[in-house]
Amino acid sequence: MLTCTRRLEWDAMHRIPRHESKCAAFHGHRYAAEITCHADALDDRGRVIDFGVVKERVGAWIDTHWDHTAILQEGDPDPAVAVIAQSNAGHGRPVYWMAVPPTAENVAAELAGHAQRLLADTGVRVVRVRVWETPNGSAEWDGLVG
């Protein structure tokens, strides 16, 4: 199988409601994501996809929706959530709301869905998304399993 991977990075805060430790508090990360694409054949320049196309499309989506904002769960009961949402909106960085807790696993799955949609017309298939929440902790969505 022929694949290529583009790494993208951003900064955001989150919290995990009902977490049994530190992650119940609001905190920030320098996230990194690896987007792996598959093609049945290389293009006429010998590529699965130009790395710049992944950066332009998926990177732009990340910059718009996740960079320098909060990634929070809808219905999070913490009273600070409303204040954060209002403050961020006032600075032009609305909160990104997820239906599920914003764990690395769920962020990887969310990003995979967007990456697939954003690259659908390129002839490649997104087969893996790995999200690094910390330098030593990551979660992976695998489009080849299941």
Q: What is the pLDDT of residues 31-67, one digit of tens each?
A: 999 999 999 999 999 999 999 999 999 999 999 999 9
What is the reported pLDDT for 119? 98
Catalytic residue among 4, 34, 68, 140: 68
Beta-bridge mates of residue 98: 73
What is the reported pLDDT for 146? 55
96-119 per-position pLDDT tens digit: 999 999 999 999 999 999 999 999
CB 93 within 8 A of CB 37: no
What is the reported pLDDT for 1? 81
Q: What is the mean pLDDT of residues 86-98?
A: 97
Beta-bridge mates of residue 126: 37
Q: Residue for token digits 């298939």? A: 125
What is the reported pLDDT for 144? 80
Instruction: Please give the mean pLDDT across all residues of the chain.
Output: 96
Q: What is the mean pLDDT of residues 24-33?
A: 98
Active site residue 114: no
CATH number, domain 2-17+27-142: 3.30.479.10
Catalytic residue among 14, 65, 110, 133: 133
Catalytic residue among 23, 38, 105, 140: 23
CA dihedral in degrees (17, 18, 20, 25; nearest 10)? 30
- Measured distance CA(98)–CA(80) in Å, rounded: 17
Q: What is the pTM of this model?
A: 0.95
Q: What is the mean pLDDT of residues 127-144?
A: 96
| Kind of pairing between the strands at 125-134 and 69-73 | unpaired
Q: Does residue 145 have a pLDDT over 90?
A: no
3-24 per-position pLDDT tens digit: 999 999 999 999 999 999 999 9
- Measured distance CA(116)–CA(92) in Å, rounded: 27
Active site residue 23: yes
